[in-house]
Amino acid sequence: MSTLFLGDTAPDFQQDSSIGPIRFHEWAGDSWVILFSHPADYTPVCTTELGLTGKLQKEFEQRNVKAIALSVDDAESHRGWIKDIEATQNTVVGFPIIADKDRKVAGLYGMIHPNQSNTVTVRTVFIIDPQKKLRLTLTYPLSIGRNFNEILRAVDALQASDAYGIATPGNWQPGDEVVIPLTVQDEAEIREKFPKGYRAERPYLRLTPHPGR
């Protein structure tokens, strides 16, 4: 099983999907990507998760994010399942589902965890930036559905960190105060980067208004 670390280049691949063959890096272009795996088609938890992703499509687009799902079933199965998802979840599945029947992508990304199953993928999320670098992973067991609002929040935090050189505190939401990293110590640099000022709860805990708000 492959092991990917944060900061690694996300492996490229060519695989069939619900919209036809995809070469991953080419499809991703200059967008952020949320790649998330599912145990199988026509399963209840997965159906709700893909429905939620469909409902968040506009939110993803506003953040320059493309979503792409994966399971080990074939493309024909995916296309049939999409009809069920759209009918039961009252949404449109406007993103592809990779058909990883030979488990090639699952192997590249380490999506099969033998203590869960030797044959199907666990619920893993990979957030990948426009430079194709892996920035965040989340892994859930087969029986537990993911929180897609948290995935969206994580994208917001990553993008804010990249744009303004900040960190985010626990439970941070867009618009909340942000953390000045410990790597920034020079007061002149702090004033230049964070002109709204800051408050120091401790010398190592400095909070400032979101620079972009």
Marked catalytic residue, from 28, 33, 34, 46: 46
In a domain, 72, yes or no: yes
* pLDDT confidence band for 117 (50 / 70 / 90): confident
Question: Whole domain around residue 173: which residue ranges?
Answer: 165-208
For the chain, the C-alpha Rg in angstroms (whole number) is 19
Same domain, 137 and 32: yes
**Predicted local distance difference test score (pLDDT) of residue 118:** 81
In a domain, 1, yes or no: no
pLDDT in tens, 129-156: 999 999 999 999 989 999 999 999 999 9
Same domain, 72 and 169: no
In a domain, 2, yes or no: no
Same domain, 114 and 194: no
**106 noted as active-site residue:** no
Query: Pick from 120, 144, 159: which residue ends a domain?
Result: 159
Mean of all residue pLDDT scores within the chain: 95
Same domain, 51 and 121: yes
pLDDT in tens, 38-95: 999 999 999 999 999 999 999 999 999 999 999 999 999 999 999 999 999 999 999 9
Same domain, 137 and 183: no
CATH of the domain at 104: 3.40.30.10
Same domain, 138 and 169: no
Residue 23: phi and psi, rounded to 5, are -100, 120
Same domain, 50 and 87: yes
Same domain, 142 and 185: no
Same domain, 95 and 177: no
Same domain, 175 and 193: yes
In a domain, 117, yes or no: yes
User: What residues contact residue 135 under an 8 Å CB cut-off, 6+ apart?
Assistant: 6, 7, 127, 128, 129, 158
In a domain, 9, yes or no: no
**Predicted local distance difference test score (pLDDT) of residue 119:** 79
In a domain, 131, yes or no: yes
Same domain, 70 and 170: no
User: How many structural domains compose the chain?
Assistant: 2
**Predicted local distance difference test score (pLDDT) of residue 22:** 97
Within its chain, how far is the Cα of 103 from the centroid?
Answer: 20
Res. 1: pLDDT tops 60? no
At 125, list the tokens.
């999320």
Q: Are strands 65-71 and 97-99 parallel, antiparallel or unpaired?
A: parallel
Same domain, 57 and 117: yes
Determine contact, residues 38/71, Cβ cutoff 8 Å.
yes
> Model pTM?
0.94
**Predicted local distance difference test score (pLDDT) of residue 2:** 67
**Predicted local distance difference test score (pLDDT) of residue 120:** 85
